Amino acid sequence: MDYKLIHKKIYNKLTPEEEVIFNNWYNESKSHRDYYERVKAGYNKEPISVDTSKGWKQIEKQIYKPVRKLYWRIAAAVSVILIIGFAFFTNNHSVHQTLYATTDIEPGTSKAILTLEDGTDIKLKKGHLFKRENLICDGEKITYQNKDSLKGKQIKYNYLTIPRGGQYFIVLADGTKVWLNSDSKIKYPTEFIDGNTRMVELLYGEAYFDVSPSTSHRGSKFIVRTQMQKVEVVGTEFNIKAYSNEQYIYTTLIEGKIFIDNGTVKKILEPNQQSKINVKNNDLEIASIDVYDVISWKKGVFSFKEKTLYEITMVLSRWYDVNFVFENQEIKNIKFNGVLDKKQSITTILSILKMSINIDYEIQNRTIIIK
């Protein structure tokens, strides 16, 4: 069972077709019905701290027998139960329960560096208020407002840099909302001129855009430039992942319509489609995908579907500001499926991976050695 259907059932948002799928699963067995009731009950409670010793006893009770594959629906359920204080896993190897007594590494927080038009750097973090001309920052988000008309004036640009272990939210002067993931940097004008093209540049990293429609700005288009591509927008929501140390640039459309231009071809992207540009040869491919997995970072979770251990560590390294070292290169390609809460400490995340795919690890300062 896809966990999203369980979530929608709890909030009475299932479509008629989804209701049939859910009911078939629910009536299939008593364990399914019990699981649904536990998850539903958990949504009505405040999150609680996990008693480690009690948690491991719960795990032991929930482990049934080895299976050949860790199914997506079970892995997704693991993360939800963890949030309410329990966990269960299935794996294809024996389970090791050795926990490391180390200083834990906490998850990322809202923090960034704002570079003003004069080159001044301002460190932004939770609890610190900052105001300047047409911007105000409350420590967790920046909000800009258009002032008088800029016609005849020089456009000024600011930069926002999100370090590893950080994230940030910004409202541009035209009302466009941008969520920035860890290890990202964006360049944008402090004001816009209605009727003129609105352009920003994602220098590197990942960002989710909720663009103010062109109809609210005298028809002005919105363009996002990244390495090797230009995204032309009318008014829509989409996600761009363009890390400098990765081979592909991914652009995923949630709603609306955008044009992807890699300098050679220009293609239209429809909702629930993703473009992939190979930075080595500039090839552009388009495929239909499950957008939930792509934008889950914005919703406070990691959603890993058929991701290799190496791909997972790339994501974790940015959010927890750590480095990973593989003693055994072959295990990089082990695949994992699951949905994990981003608010958990790194040791909790590693313990889930350890139990699920039978890896071992050691933490040395901010370096994690996978064995």
Question: Is residue 198 very low, low, confident or very high in pLDDT (cuts 50, 70, 90)?
Answer: very high
Residues 150 and 231 placed together within one structural domain of the fold:
yes
- Asked if residue 189 lies in contact with residue 157, where contact means CB atoms within 8 angstroms, the answer is yes
Residues 261 and 318 placed together within one structural domain of the fold:
no
Please, which residues have CB within 8 angstroms of residue 82's CB and are 6 or more apart in sequence?
A: 50, 340, 341, 344, 348, 352
Looking up residue 166, the CATH number of its domain turns out to be 2.60.120.1440
Q: What is the pLDDT of residues 131-154, one digit of tens each?
A: 988 899 998 999 998 875 555 578
32 pLDDT exceeds 70? yes
Alpha-carbon dihedral 146, 147, 149, 153, rounded to 10 degrees: -100
pLDDT of residue 337: 87
Residues 97 and 140 placed together within one structural domain of the fold:
no
Dmax of the chain from CA atoms?
72
Average pLDDT over residues 68-83: 39
Please, which residues have CB within 8 angstroms of residue 110's CB and are 6 or more apart in sequence?
A: 124, 125, 126, 139, 140, 141, 166, 167, 168, 169
Percent of the chain, pLDDT > 70?
80
**Boundary of a domain, candidates 292, 312, 340:** 292
**Boundary of a domain, candidates 264, 292, 320:** 292
Average pLDDT over residues 23-29: 81
d(CA 371, CA 369): 6
Average pLDDT score, the chain: 81
Residues 141 and 287 placed together within one structural domain of the fold:
yes
pLDDT of residue 150: 57
Looking up residue 15, the CATH number of its domain turns out to be 3.55.50.30
Residues 149 and 222 placed together within one structural domain of the fold:
yes
∠ CA(150), CA(151), CA(155), 5° rounding? Answer: 50
Residues 159 and 240 placed together within one structural domain of the fold:
yes
Q: What is the pLDDT of residues 7-25, one digit of tens each?
A: 788 878 888 777 878 887 7
Residues 280 and 311 placed together within one structural domain of the fold:
no
Number of domains composing the chain: 2
Bigger pLDDT: 322 or 4? Answer: 322
Bigger pLDDT: 260 or 10? Answer: 260
Parent domain of 269? 109-292
Sign of the C-alpha dihedral, residues 321, 322, 323, 327?
negative
Percent of the chain, pLDDT > 90?
51
54 pLDDT exceeds 80? no
